[in-house]
Amino acid sequence: MTETAQVTDEPRISAIWIIPAIALFVGVWMLYQYQANKGPTIYIEMPQAEGIIAGKTEIKVRSVKIGQIDSVRLSDSQDSVIARAQIDKSYEDLLTDDAKIWVVKPRIDETGISGMSTLLSGVYLEFAPGE
């Protein structure tokens, strides 16, 4: 008795590879969306970083958060501090050459008390857009 074998062509790529391909596509899409929706990065030079915490300190305009400090480092000459901040994309039109920014912290002087809200929330940077 002679036995014969039937040979059939099966696909070279298994259907199970569809799952990693979809995961890769979703990952690339999420990375693209993150980069497309990311606002501008600004660098703020200041004499000291008292109370400024990377990842926590916010940048506000009229008590509305427009950005956040990413990192804080010493300048190359080590006589000042440079803070890197990420601004939300919807507020990038506020960034002008004559804009001003300052640190808001609790202060008591002869004119009165200011910055009391920072006792609970911590210091933040107030941003005044220019013309």
Is the predicted pLDDT of residue 27 greater than 90, yes or no? yes
54-112 pLDDT, tens digit per residue, is 989 999 999 899 999 999 999 999 899 999 999 999 888 888 888 888 888 877 777 77
Determine how many CB atoms are found less than 10 A away from the CB of residue 42: 18
* β-strand pairing of 107-109 with 112-114: antiparallel
Higher confidence at residue 96 or residue 8?
A: 96
What does the pLDDT read at residue 33? 93
What does the pLDDT read at residue 115? 67
Which string of b and e fits 75-110 if b means at least 16 CB within 10 Å?
eeeeeebebebbbbeebeebbeeeeebebbeeeeee
